[in-house]
Amino acid sequence: MSAEAAGEGTRTDGRTARRVATRERVIAAGLELFAERGYSATSVEEIAEHAGVSKGTVFYNFGSKQGLGAAVVRESADRIAAVVEAARAPHRGWAALNAIVLALLRAFDADPATCQVLLTELFRNERPWHEDLPATRAALIAPVVAVSMEVHEQRYAAGLTHVRPEAEHFEMIAIAILGALAFSALDRATFHPRRSIEDVQRALMVTISGLAV
DSSP string of 125-144, one letter each residue:
TTSTTGGG-HHHHHHHHHHH
Residue 127 DSSP one-character state: S
212 pLDDT band (50/70/90 cuts)? Answer: very low
pLDDT band for 213, please (50, 70, 90 cuts).
very low
pTM for this entry: 0.86
Domain spanning 1-63 has what CATH number? Answer: 1.10.10.60
63 pLDDT band, cuts 50/70/90, is: very high
Position 210 confidence tier, pLDDT thresholds 50, 70, 90:
low
Enumerate the domain spans of the chain: 1-63, 69-211
Query: Rounded to an integer, what distance in angstroms lies between the CA atom of residue 42 and that of residue 37?
Result: 6
Range with the poorest average pLDDT among 18-27, 58-67, 74-83, 128-137: 128-137
What average pLDDT score do residues 106-133 get?
90
pLDDT for residue 9: 57
Per the prediction, the chain carries an average pLDDT of 90
The mean-pLDDT minimum among 4-18, 79-93, 149-163 falls in 4-18
Angle between helices 65-88 and 3-37 (to 10 degrees): 90
Q: Rounded distance, CA 176 to CA 64, Å?
A: 32
Give me Rg for the CA atoms of the chain: 21
The pLDDT of residue 97 is above 70: yes
Cα 160 to Cα 8: distance, rounded to the nearest angstrom: 65
Q: What is the pLDDT of residues 115-126, one digit of tens each?
A: 999 999 988 888
Spatial separation of the C-alpha atoms in residues 143 and 135, rounded to whole Å:
13
Distance CA 58, CA 62 (A): 6
* DSSP 8-class letter at 114: H
